Amino acid sequence: MCSRLLPFVVLLFAVALRAQQPQKRPFEQQSQSTITYRNENQADVVEIRNVAYELSGPGIPGRPQNDLLVLRKTTRTRQVVDEIGIEGTTTVEAWPLGVDPKEKPLYSVTIPGTDAITMNSAVIVISRGLEELDWWSVYKLGNGEHLFDTYTPIVQFSISRETQTLRYVGLEVPPDDVADARLKSRNVVAVLTYASAEHVIREALITCDDPKLAQVLRSYADATRVTTFVGGSIRLSISQNYPSPPKTITITVPIVRDDLDLARSQMPAGLHIMAWKR
């Protein structure tokens, strides 16, 4: 009797599962991009609104394997000609494929910035450099949650040769008005971040015994930072800008068992790296 009922039970389960899933419906959506030019207080002003759609997936971390997301990326900029910097805001909205974009999105992210791109159907990277400084914010593609900020271009690599297991590295250089009081310490240089597409695996605080040197190393104007992945390690180089001699310092942090091996880091004298949590 039980064996006869089993196919019926399986059928009922399949019907119930299908009922829980959102039904895909055809749709057509149009969004207008615009540009406006005018003279304002004897200055030329250009305002641009760009809208782009993108289909991402499958294999989005945190989503069912075969899920696809429709993204609408809206960027608004305002620029005064002949002045440095622009004003800009970027909004990223996401819907599961088959849900009309007229409905409430799965999530919406709006921040000052431009040029939102997706990487590996896993993360969203938004450029935040509206003035002379380049920096980026990284978000989870699956749910729009913030992962980390980085003041060097995001570094990506796989920790496995057999299967693609992607990891991301960023370097946060705290501004003077950083909200976390711990990062206002005079000996703080930067925070190194090691993450998957779903969560931050490790953050490490870099400090310097000499407060004056720390100030130079964390300066946006006086130093240039480069982060790379070489031979199974993260390598951070910081050079002083002209007219000062480069005096490049290099920090090397091995990756072991999918984590930063801080104990085996190679550091110049007077610099230190330690585990840190927000």
Q: Which residues does 273 contact at the CB level (< 8 Å), separation at least 6?
A: 192, 204, 205, 206, 207, 251, 253, 262, 265, 267
Q: Which amino acid is at 96?
A: P
Structure confidence by residue, pLDDT tens digits, 144-201: 999 999 999 999 999 998 888 999 999 999 998 999 999 999 999 999 999 999 999 9
In 41-143, which ranges are E strands? 43-56, 69-80, 87-96, 107-112, 114-119, 123-127, 136-140
Residue 262 DSSP one-character state: G
Residue 206, Ramachandran bin (φ over 0: left; ψ between -120 and 50: alpha; else beta): beta
**Among 79-83, 214-218, 231-235, 257-261, which is the least confidently predicted range?**
79-83
129 CB burial (10 A radius; 0-12, 13-18, 19+): middle
Q: What is the pLDDT of residue 40?
A: 86
Candidates 191, 185, 179; CA nearest to 135 is 191
Q: Which of 37-51, 138-152, 234-248 has the lowest mean pLDDT?
A: 37-51
Residue 6 has pLDDT above 60, yes or no: no
Contact 192, 253 (CB under 8 A): yes
Residue 19: pLDDT band with limits 50, 70, 90:
very low
With a cut of 50, say whether residue 2 has pLDDT above it. no
pLDDT of residue 7 exceeding 70, the answer is no
Is 204's pLDDT higher than 50?
yes
pTM above 0.75, yes or no: yes
Q: How far apart are the first and last CA of the chain?
A: 59
- Cβ-count burial 86-108 (b if 16+ within 10 Å, e if not): eebbbbbbbbbbebebeeebbbe
Please give the Cα distance from 88 to 79 (Å, whole number).
9
